[in-house]
Structure 1
Amino acid sequence: MPFATTRDGVEIFYKDWGPKDAPAIMFHHGWPLSADDWDTQMLFFLANGYRVVAHDRRGHGRSSQVWDGHTMDNYAADAFAVVEALDLRGVVHIGHSTGGGEVARYVAKFGEPAGRVAKAVLVSAVPPLMVKTEANPGGLPIEVFDGFRKALADNRAQFFLDVPTGPFYGYNREGAKIDEGVIQNWWRQGMMGSAKAHYDGIKAFSETDQSEDLKAISVPTLVLHGEDDQIVPIGASARESIKLLPSGTLKTYPGFGHGMLTVNADILNADLLAFVKS
């Protein structure tokens, strides 16, 4: 399996599909998943003539299960290790949820002046800040994230069934068409990773203020968010992010939930392709 090595010695697994001279798209997955969560998008863009790359964040999927370094800074540096190893340039970076935070930090920190970044897409993404603070009154109370930590520490396997069965894909909504394969695939990806990485990752995705990252992104940026997102509520995320992005476009989806890239892939893929080609 292909791996890139970070500057602090972590082995990062990645997938690299398609012609090396094709325009490249790099995908950044959400918590607590892996590069596999992008399979539908990767096959779609591969069929449309693109080179597609996705990696497992440290402690997730097939990457090294190191006990420390589970911060947004290191997540971005891990992604850069893959970009350096493959010498990718002019890349469109697409991130979902925590991966959206990773993209924002990556583009702000590594995007200029090397010309490695062409565009960015933040899908159901956590920026600018998830947790409620005095300066961020629309965020979620810290008790919500403390509850995540307790559920993970008490019984991670059950917690990783409860999340996709319920709010992640909107399967707890009346009339929802439940796909057991989607639930099992979410569980499979989550359980491949490290409990320590997942535990520490909750702090990374909820308490990292990325306001300055967003302000620093100069490339065209598309923000996509479901209006019924029960994991990352749209009011404190996408609707605030668009105010900070110098060159941002916001598109929202009535009734769509957090996992819309999977359960509404036909619609999302078409919108992503239109932006990438624009």
Structure 2
Amino acid sequence: MTLRSTSAAGKEPKISTSLGDKIGFSSVSTNDGVQIFYKDWGPKTAQPIVFHHGWPLSSDDWDNQMLFFLGKGYRVIAHDRRGHGRSSQTSDGHDMDHYAADAAAVVEHLDLRNAIHVGHSTGGGEAARYVARYGKERVAKLILIGAVPPLMLKTEANPNGLPIDVLDGLRKQLAANRSQFYFDFASGPFYGYNRPGAEPSQAVIWNWWRQGMVGSARAHYDGIKAFSETDFTEDLKNITVPTLIQHGGDDQIVPVGDSALLSAKLLRHSTLKIYDLLPHGLCTTHANIINADLLAFISA
């Protein structure tokens, strides 16, 4: 069965049901033949919450939040970005336009309406572009957590951004020894485990590493450009739904001053929450705090 569609730059993505449904997992196939894996839990009549994961992870990174909101009676959905997790390890399309179109393919396939979209880190950029480009008739609210918008890269117009040398360094480490790079990344700045007095969780570190290594090195390499060099300024200006911004005050991956504070000014209806001393991976390290504030905003 084939559903109606257009290209990634259009208003509705091309999708079809996947062979994945016949072999025990749920996925949709995009117009360029990429299978996007997704989870869909809870009552089909309940309000849907759609989760967009960070780089280089998968929908598994939302386990805590999905179980929490499932227990509150919501329908929860999360997908693996192309080249990540259980989705196709395609060679092409590792950019925000395709990411947003792939998310739209899942949303249209499930016919989700009045949905809450929650994006962390790179997923925050994906969610913002999806809402701005595709979500006007389907989205109720947006939540950006440790999100990359409006722009991470240092430019003349964005002087406080990350220098390209830093991003080139990430690409160099990934290409040289992806396994070691991911282990070090999770063991250090992502969860703030490099801070004095921090108590690293080996289970959390290895779960991060596991999610990363399941995905494609090509997708993750190209994804660095996607999350760091995409300018979301116009996306944010065009978003009209109420938006909650949550960000760790000690985020070492996406510094709060050049992300959340600027996004709050660009959005029409924003609520900003900065959590002093919390790291980039705050949805895991401080899930109880984040979940409570998510629930308050969603149910308001």
TM-score, normalised to structure 2's length?
A: 0.92
1:194 and 2:216 matched = yes
Alignment of 1:131-150 (within 5 A): 131-150=153-172
DSSP-derived class of the 1:121 partner = strand
CA distance in 1, matches of 2:120, 2:30: 22
1:18 aligns with 2:42: yes
Task: Tell me which amino acid in the other structure corresponds to 1:62.
Answer: R
Offset of 1:143 from its aligned partner?
0.5
* Corresponding residue of 1:9: 33
Q: Report sequence identity in percent.
A: 69
Cα distance in 2, alignment partners of residues 173 and 167 from structure 1: 8
Residue from 71, 80, 97 that aligns with 2:104 = 80
Asked if 1:110 is matched to 2:134, the reply is: yes
RMSD: 0.4
**In the aligned structure 2, how far is the partner of 1:227 from the partner of 1:7?**
40
**What is the rounded CA distance, in whole Å, between the counterparts of 1:111 and 1:19 in structure 2?**
22
Q: Who is 1:274 aligned against?
A: 296
Work out which of the residue numbers 135, 139, 158 in structure 1 matches 2:180.
158
SS in 2 for 1:127: coil
Amino acid at match of 1:160: Y
Find the aligned partners of 2:192 and 2:55 in 1 and give their Cα distance: 17
Q: Is 2:115 the counterpart of 1:91?
A: yes
- Provide the rounded CA distance (Å) in 2 between the counterparts of 1:22 and 1:233: 35
Deviation at 1:127, TM superposition (A): 0.2
- Distance of 1:192 and 1:276 partners within structure 2: 32
Corresponding residue number in structure 1 for 2:239:
217
Gaps of 5+ in 1: none
How much has 1:54 moved relative to structure 2? Answer: 0.1
Deviations 1:73-123 (A, max 9, x none): 0000000010011110010000000000001100000012xx210000000
Counterpart of 2:206, as a letter, is Q
Counterpart of 1:261, as a letter, is C
Letter matched to residue 37 of structure 1? D
- Aligned-partner SS, 1:57: coil
Number of the residue aligned with 2:3? none
Secondary structure at the residue paired with 1:104?
A: helix
Structure with bigger RCO (C-alpha 8 Å, 6+ apart)? 1
Q: CA deviation at 1:8?
A: 1.6
Amino acid at match of 2:253: I
Map of 1:37 onto structure 2: 61
2:91 pairs with one of 67, 81, 91: 67
Counting only pairs closer than 5 Å after superposition, residues 235-246 of structure 1 correspond to structure 2 as 235-246=257-268
Q: Which amino acid aligns with 1:50?
A: Y
**What is the CA–CA distance in structure 1 between the aligned matches of 2:30 and 2:271, rounded to whole Å?**
32
- Secondary structure class of the residue paired with 2:221: helix
Letter in 2 for 1:53: I
Separation in 1, partners of 2:277, 2:249: 6
Query: Any idea what SS the aligned residue of 1:5 has?
Result: strand
SS at match of 1:164: helix
2-structure distance, mates of 1:264, 1:151? 28
Distance (whole Å) between structure 2 residues aligned to residue 273 and residue 144 of structure 1:
36
* Cα distance in 1 for residues equivalent to 2:32 and 2:265: 35
Alpha-carbon offset, residue 6 of structure 1: 1.2
Give CA-to-partner distance per residue, 1:216-271, whole Å, 9 cap, x none.
Answer: 00000000000000000001000110110001110000000000000100000000
Give the letter for the 2:50 counterpart. Answer: M
SS class of match (1:184): helix
Q: Distance in 2 between matches of 1:28 and 1:110?
A: 15
TM-score, normalised relative to structure 1: 0.99
CA distance, structure 1, for counterparts of residue 64 and residue 140 of structure 2: 22
| Number of equivalenced pairs | 276
